[in-house]
Chains A and B, each alone.
Chain A
């Protein structure tokens, strides 16, 4: 038996969340006295594959198959299940990204497994297998028991520290059988931005709301993100009004994020907004209204006009970064 990690690569590079997954899986493997195998689909350079060993994988299984050129939940999950069976994996770990979650749910059905979506911690026990997950959109947590022999988990991004645990890594090619009927729902057209920091991957997010009055005022927000190496995001009305692209909308009906640091600038802190961001480790609110609900959720706050505070903060951040 082993722990299998499905690693997503991004144009041949692994995302930070992949190393989180490996760190997480390695800790579980220690508890279970077993090893971690990582599965990767597609073309990834050998040096890059070796980085998986730094975080505890002792084997990388490389799957190259023309039929897996396009991401299709059915064919990918079928490939992953086949590998899990070959490896006799009893625990299969995915990232809780849009694609990871879909694959995890399908893989769980194929393996007759119990599935815990969006876990944030190590299991508290392996027998019975109990792991904590978020519930009620972040307003509560649940201790969740998986009762099947095989367990599938998806790990919330940014919820687990990277732990170095260097292993001599074996790189092996593997193969699976993909049926043509698993390739239905093939994308016709894919638009993908490359080289841009993903909102769900960023460690720092600079988020702004309707308090900014108009799209022409986002320059200072983008500047702050640039200084911090952060990504920008926004509240729902801002996306609905077309001030910012829809991909930036965070909250209950937008993206759910969990960065280390979240700046909420001119955002009131409505419960539906908080539902998508309350997994952040530290939140800073900047708002003219001392009664804004965001101050109840935030760790640090400044009551003040964003148009004055943000430029001053940017200047101070530049100095801080220069001095580091």
Chain B
């Protein structure tokens, strides 16, 4: 069985965010990049499934420039089998989705896993777009994933509850909370092996952008936190009622 796991290359969650070029571009100075947290959990779960069923080849895919290769190598070090990089600077979500769909068509993958959402763009759209482009069923915000007797069994979160889904291959699952609990970290051996694992670079297909970012803004600096004495909780209620008007 073969899975295509799409990973994003994003600033570490603790990064301080700044912009350059008149606030039209992200300032990459001193930024540490990581695999998107949802995809890191997805990789962890897929490795567990691989250990259970034996036959599962995990290909990681990133659409990005050569800058993203350390992130891809990290996924290989954690345990992915091989990797593909579509050599392009992503223009928008549809562009990324189109590249992923193309790689899927040109391979013999059984299913696709993406993260629910990137932590830089916060689109939560690429996975669904891929599914739509390929006319595949999708399970969004998957909270549990397993393969049993050749069948994929998933759970997904819905507002106010959850659903169990059994789906035929192929499909797209976007990994949300619960997919795995703790991400795996690479071992020394994993890091050594990762250097020799195949990373194929392919050229993008055309897709005109339908959206673009004109300008970034940082939030207004927040006023200082108003402190209320622990003995005077009535004062807090008064402030929330009269000043903030939220009670």
Contacts and interface: CB of A to CB of B under 8 A. Distances in A.
Interface of A: 10, 71-74, 77, 97-99, 101-102, 104-106, 108-110, 112-118, 130, 132-148, 181, 184-194, 196, 198, 200, 204, 228, 240, 246-247, 249, 252-255, 260-261, 271-272, 275, 281-282, 284-285, 295-305, 308-309, 312-313, 316-317, 320
Given A198-B160, A317-B237, 16 more contacts: A105-B93, A105-B125, A105-B126, A115-B211, A140-B218, A141-B218, A142-B216, A145-B214, A147-B211, A184-B137, A198-B159, A246-B177, A275-B13, A284-B236, A300-B236, A304-B230
Given A102-B128, A136-B120, A313 B93 contact: no
Nearest to A146: B211
B159 A145 contact: no
Contact of A188 (B37, B135, B165, B236): B165
The 7 closest A-B pairs by CB, nearest first: A304-B230, A185-B137, A105-B128, A192-B161, A105-B125, A184-B137, A109-B132
Contacts, number: 249
Name the interface size band of chain B. Answer: 35 or more
A305 B230 CA distance: 8
B119 to A, nearest CB: 5
Nearest to B143: A246
Given A73-B140, A185-B139, A254-B177, A142 B213 contact: yes
Interface of B: 11, 13-14, 17, 19, 37-38, 41, 93-94, 97, 119-129, 131-133, 135, 137-141, 143, 157-168, 171, 177-178, 181, 209-219, 222-223, 225-230, 233-234, 236-237, 239-241, 244, 246-247
Contact of A185 (B171, B217, B241): B171
Nearest to B128: A105
Q: Tell me whether chain B's interface is mostly helix, strand or loop, or mixed.
A: mixed
Contacts of B171: 184-185
B76 to A, nearest CB: 23
A221 B210 CA distance: 46
Given A117-B123, A300-B225, A187 B163 contact: yes
Contact of A102 (B17, B94, B138): B138
Q: Which residue of B38, B135, B177, B237 has the most chain A CB atoms within 10 A of its CB atom?
A: B177
Contacts of A181: 135
A188 B217 contact: no
Contact of A300 (B135, B140, B161, B239): B239
Contacts of B181: 240
A116 B158 CA distance: 22
A143 B41 CA distance: 30
Nearest to A296: B225
A133 B124 CA distance: 13
